[in-house]
């Protein structure tokens, strides 16, 4: 069965998930997380990708980024994945694959969806029951976006920058977003769009992206799906 082409466009935010093969752990020690983030920063710079948010979970990662070229996210994840696998195989004296095939992704509409996607990413450890507040988790972008912690990996999206005129007011406004829970409908929409390689946004956004790419970017009508439309397994968190 041929793979559905990725939906990517320059300048449009992209939410990426990459999982460990058979949901096995990808990170075992603090050094593993640090190495991955160092290489994410290195290869995102080399490929022209700008990271807005991320979280490294035990057995998968989430990244929200914008790219200068449509092919840049794929180049980033390929270089990063290969480099990290080499490291893991060497350190833990293992061989074989680490990742679960191709990463999954969806284009994210800026208006009404981008900050929701950022919250979804940074709240992952909370939904997983690992912590009670995202500030307690060291391997995400929350402390940079909400508390001003220095993180050279993060490039704020202009939507985040519009939250305030100064760093302090932006961070305060961003923290306020986390006082309420993310709507279940938004969580479901993010999961379906990312696992299905579709778009996250409203019908107008879908039409714009569909015209730009010349193909459908949302799930098909109800009924028995064609092979190319069959969704992948749902995400746990």
**H or E element, residue 166:** none
Asked whether the predicted pLDDT for residue 99 surpasses 70, the reply is yes
Residue 192 maps to a domain: yes
CA dist list (Å): 119 to 172, 176, 190, 207, 236: 14, 11, 11, 25, 16
Whether 225 is covered by a domain: the verdict is: no
Average pLDDT, the chain: 91
User: Beta strand pairing status for 49-56 and 60-67?
Assistant: antiparallel
Confidence of residue 224 (pLDDT cuts 50, 70, 90): very low
The reply to whether 184 falls in a domain is: yes
Give a yes or no: residue 174 inside a domain: yes
Q: Does residue 30 fall inside a structural domain?
A: yes
CATH of the domain at 28: 3.30.70.1290
In this prediction, residue 95 has a pLDDT band, given cuts at 50, 70 and 90, of confident
pLDDT of residue 222: 47
Please tell me the predicted confidence (pLDDT) of residue 232: 36
pLDDT band of residue 221 (cuts 50, 70, 90) is low
What's the pLDDT tens digit per position in 122-166?
999 999 999 999 999 999 999 999 999 999 999 999 999 999 999
Arithmetic mean of pLDDT, 193-201: 95
Give how many domains the chain has, as a whole number: 1
- 5 domain residue, yes or no: no
Please determine, for residue 234, whether its predicted confidence score (pLDDT) is greater than 50.
Answer: no
First to last CA, the chain: 28
Query: Is residue 237 situated within a structural domain?
Result: no
Bridge partners of residue 18, in order along the sequence: 61
Residue 226 has pLDDT above 90, yes or no: no
Q: CA-to-CA distance for 75 and 148, rounded, in angstroms?
A: 29
Containing domain of residue 125, as a range? 14-212
How wide is the angle at C-alpha 62 spanned by C-alphas 133 and 227, nearest 5°? Answer: 130
Residue 225: predicted pLDDT = 42
Check pLDDT > 60 for residue 1: no
pLDDT given at position 5: 74
Q: pLDDT tens, 10-62? A: 999 999 999 999 889 999 999 999 999 999 999 999 999 999 999 999 999 99
Q: What is the pLDDT of residue 209?
A: 95
Q: pLDDT band at residue 223, thresholds of 50, 70 and 90?
A: very low
Q: Per the domain annotation, does 148 fall within a domain?
A: yes
Across 166-174, average pLDDT: 97
């Amino acid at each position: 069965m041929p793979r559905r082409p990725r939906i990517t466009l320059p300048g449009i935010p992209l939410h990426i998930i990459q999982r460990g093969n058979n949901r096995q752990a990808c990170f075992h020690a603090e050094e593993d997380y640090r190495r991955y983030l160092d290489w994410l920063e290195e290869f995102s710079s080399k490929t022209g990708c700008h990271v807005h948010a991320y979280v490294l979970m035990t057995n998968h990662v989430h990244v929200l980024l914008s790219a200068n070229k449509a092919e840049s996210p794929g180049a980033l994840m390929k270089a990063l994945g290969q480099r990290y696998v080499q490291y893991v195989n060497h350190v833990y004296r293992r061989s074989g694959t680490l990742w679960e095939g191709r990463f999954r992704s969806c284009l994210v509409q800026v208006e009404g969806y981008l900050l929701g996607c950022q919250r979804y990413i940074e709240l992952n450890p909370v939904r997983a029951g690992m912590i009670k507040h995202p500030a307690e988790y060291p391997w995400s972008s929350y402390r940079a976006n909400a508390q001003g912690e220095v993180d050279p990996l993060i490039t704020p999206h202009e939507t985040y920058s519009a939250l305030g005129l100064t760093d302090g007011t932006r961070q305060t406004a961003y923290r306020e977003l986390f006082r309420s829970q993310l709507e279940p409908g938004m969580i479901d929409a993010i999961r379906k769009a990312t696992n299905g390689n579709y778009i996250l946004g409203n019908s107008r956004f879908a039409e714009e992206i569909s015209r730009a790419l010349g193909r459908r970017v949302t799930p098909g009508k109800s009924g028995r799906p064609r092979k190319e439309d069959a969704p992948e397994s749902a995400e746990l968190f």
